[in-house]
């Protein structure tokens, strides 16, 4: 990227979060290990946030964002956002139709707070051209700016966007003129302008203001990731298949279809069967799909020259590949990380590099037994978990005890803080009786508090118990982690049993995941012992919901008729 040519090398080595944006990828904002935020490059309408609208040839510090622990950035064509660990949201740049969310239509050339509703915290945000949206900690969606999608109506303050069903939204992205959301049940919703088929509702539409479920080839599938290019949408299923729809000029969606507009999801044929992740930049045209060892890349490589990857092109992590530029001039590109697959273009949304990744990088460069400037990274959470030596509280489970520390419980779990700072602090007891909980699930809950990681050894039943614990303790982040993990535990043999277990809690999100799974393999599930053991009402509700999901398949309706009529 040209804007980094004049940047000192020590800056580049210190970056833990990088956001490259603009139609040609000539602007960047980044966060360093010291939690300082800098911007460099082109500065259209002040969307660098540096206090003016001039180009920055060297990094300029964004003082207001320093020390805020920014989790991510988002940008449209002329405005930018930053969302923090504390749930705060900042915006800057052009404010046409109120897309900065500060109650005015006055532009800003430096970050300012988005005026969120009282008590609301944000966990993710996305920008379109004149539209902005965010996911709250309650997994609802706020939106503002051009909420009518180009009829000139401005919404200068965030307001809640109503979905047709009471769904929880786990991921959100925007193209230039449309938005895509992923529910906790693995379903995709779209809204906005659909003139290029980017909404995926089987027909070309001017504007749809209410989010609507994307069906067609996605019906009954569990989606794990979504992404947007400027005029298209992409989805990745739990079993590793990629689907795309929208603007397909010169075959840029990788579908091998000579049609400029694709109005419903179509599978992208990729030789690797299990794609692990997808990525795209909302103001770019490149799409990537990532496996354990390779990147597949397609779409337009340079907006100005009109160069395309019309077919899916395999890019190895370590081996250079040859790109065809203007179909005549091959070039070799060394791709050693996902960002470099987007070289000279805007990059997809990325996460902060964790301490674990920093530690792994340091191990490659030197032996960690030697202190680096006196600093050694330590895994404090795992070191203190169930450590009796310095414990000041015991949690009694049905299979034994967990030795814990009030300081850690109160620092990372609001429920424990209210309990241990309240009545419990007055009675002087040193042990809490928690024998009513599943011991494996509760141990996983406590370990999550200490380490921020989910125990990967839990089975489906234990995940259901853990989901119930997370909900009762108001740990929404953990609940979403469990819901994301749960589908990988489902099989035709155990889904009926797990549906029954989820009903007994009750865990409605888990039940819906079971129904989604059954909707694609109902005949096989009906023949299992687990299905035979379901009680009548549960059996009926499972099949009825599965058929509702798969409503376009008359064969399944015949099965229901035989079973229940």
CATH, residue 23: 2.130.10.30
- Which residue shows structure tokens 């959470």? 381
Give residues with Cβ within 8 angstroms of 432, minimum separation 6.
Answer: 393, 394, 395, 396, 424
Q: Does the residue 100 lie in any domain?
A: yes
Q: Does the residue 269 lie in any domain?
A: no
* Residue range 132-146, pLDDT digits in tens: 999 999 999 999 999
CA distance 461 to 503: 12
Give residues with Cβ within 8 angstroms of 511, minimum separation 6.
Answer: 499, 502, 503
- Nearest Cα to Cα of residue 77 among 41, 44, 39: 44
Cα 266 to Cα 21, 174, 299, 488, 498, distances in angstroms: 28, 19, 15, 24, 31
Q: Does the residue 268 lie in any domain?
A: no
Domain count, the chain: 2
- What radius of gyration do the chain's Cα atoms show? 25
Q: Does the residue 173 lie in any domain?
A: no
Can you say whether the dihedral through the CA atoms of 343, 181, 169, 217 is positive or negative? negative
Quickly list DSSP for 245-288: EEE-GGGTTSS----SEEEEEEEE--SSS---EEEE-TTS-EEE
Q: Does the residue 481 lie in any domain?
A: yes
CA distance 327 to 304: 15
pLDDT at position 366: 42
3-state DSSP call for residue 396?
strand
CB 419 within 8 A of CB 477: no
Last residue of a domain, one of 125, 141, 162: 162
CA distance 48 to 58: 12
pLDDT at position 551: 62
Last residue of a domain, one of 162, 187, 210: 162
CATH, residue 411: 3.30.710.10
Last residue of a domain, one of 111, 143, 162: 162
Residue ranges, the chain, pLDDT below 70: 151, 272-273, 300-338, 351-378, 422-428, 550-565
Q: Identify the domain containing residue 106 by its residue range.
A: 1-162
Residues in the chain: 565
Q: What are phi and psi of 202, to 5 degrees?
A: 75, -5
Model pTM? 0.68
pLDDT at position 427: 66
3-state DSSP call for residue 488?
helix
User: What's the mean pLDDT when you consider all of the chain?
Assistant: 83
Q: Does the residue 264 lie in any domain?
A: no
Can you say whether the dihedral through the CA atoms of 18, 19, 22, 23 is positive or negative? positive
CA distance 11 to 18: 12
Q: Does the residue 339 lie in any domain?
A: no
Cis status of the peptide bond prior to 363, with omega within 30 of 0? no
pLDDT at position 484: 82
pLDDT at position 146: 93
pLDDT at position 378: 62
């Amino acid at each position: 990227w040209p804007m980094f040519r004049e940047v000192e090398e020590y800056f580049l080595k210190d970056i833990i979060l990088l956001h490259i944006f603009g139609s040609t990828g000539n602007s960047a904002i980044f966060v360093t290990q010291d939690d300082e935020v800098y911007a460099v490059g082109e500065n259209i309408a002040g969307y660098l946030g540096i206090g003016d609208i001039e180009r920055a040839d060297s990094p300029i510090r964004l003082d207001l964002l320093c020390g805020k622990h920014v989790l991510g950035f988002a940008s449209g064509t002329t405005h930018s956002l930053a969302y923090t660990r504390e749930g705060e949201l900042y915006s800057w740049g052009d404010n046409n139709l109120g897309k900065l969310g500060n109650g005015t239509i006055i532009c800003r050339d430096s970050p300012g707070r988005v005026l969120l509703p009282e008590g609301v915290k944000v966990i993710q945000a996305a920008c379109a051209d004149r539209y902005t949206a965010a996911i709250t900690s309650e997994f609802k969606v706020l939106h503002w700016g051009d909420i009518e999608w180009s009829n000139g109506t401005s919404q200068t303050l965030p307001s809640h966007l109503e979905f047709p069903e009471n769904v929880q939204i786990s991921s959100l992205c925007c193209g230039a003129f449309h938005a895509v959301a992923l529910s906790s049940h693995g379903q995709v919703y779209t809204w906005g302008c659909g003139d290029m088929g980017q909404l995926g509702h089987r027909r070309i539409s001017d504007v749809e203001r209410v989010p609507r479920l994307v069906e067609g080839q996605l019906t009954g599938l569990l989606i794990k990731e979504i992404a947007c290019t400027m005029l298209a949408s992409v989805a990745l299923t739990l079993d590793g298949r990629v689907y795309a729809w929208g603007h397909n000029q010169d075959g840029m969606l990788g579908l091998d279809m000579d049609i400029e507009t694709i109005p419903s999801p179509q599978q992208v044929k990729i030789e690797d069967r299990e794609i692990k992740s997808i990525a795209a930049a909302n103001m770019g045209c490149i799409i990537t799909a990532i496996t354990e060892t390779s990147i597949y890349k397609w779409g337009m490589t340079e907006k100005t020259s009109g160069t395309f990857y019309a077919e899916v092109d395999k890019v190895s992590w370590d081996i250079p590949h040859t790109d065809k530029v203007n179909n005549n001039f091959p070039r070799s590109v060394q791709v050693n990380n996902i960002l470099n697959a987007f070289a000279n273009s805007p990059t997809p949304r990325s996460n902060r590099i964790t301490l674990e990744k920093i530690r792994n990088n340091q191990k490659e460069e030197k032996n960690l037994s030697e202190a680096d400037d006196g600093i050694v990274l330590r895994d404090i959470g795992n070191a203190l978990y169930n450590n009796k030596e310095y414990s000041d509280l015991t949690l009694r489970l049905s299979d034994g005890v967990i030795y814990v520390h009030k300081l850690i419980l109160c620092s990372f779990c609001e429920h424990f803080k209210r309990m241990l700072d309240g009545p419990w602090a007055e009675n002087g007891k040193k042990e809490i009786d928690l024998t009513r909980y599943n011991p494996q699930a509760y141990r996983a809950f406590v370990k999550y508090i200490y380490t921020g990681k989910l125990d990967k050894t839990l089975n489906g039943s234990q995940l259901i118990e853990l989901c119930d614990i997370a909900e009762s303790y108001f740990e929404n982040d953990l609940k979403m982690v469990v819901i994301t993990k749960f589908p990988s535990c489902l099989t035709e043999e155990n889904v009926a049993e797990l549906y029954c277990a989820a009903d007994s809690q009750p865990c409605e999100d888990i039940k819906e995941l079971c129904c989604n799974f059954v909707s694609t393999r109902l005949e096989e599930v009906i023949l299992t012992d687990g299905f035979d053991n379901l009680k009548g009402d549960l059996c009926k509700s499972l099949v009825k919901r599965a058929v509702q999901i798969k409503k376009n398949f008359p064969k399944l309706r015949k099965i229901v008729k035989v079973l229940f009529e």
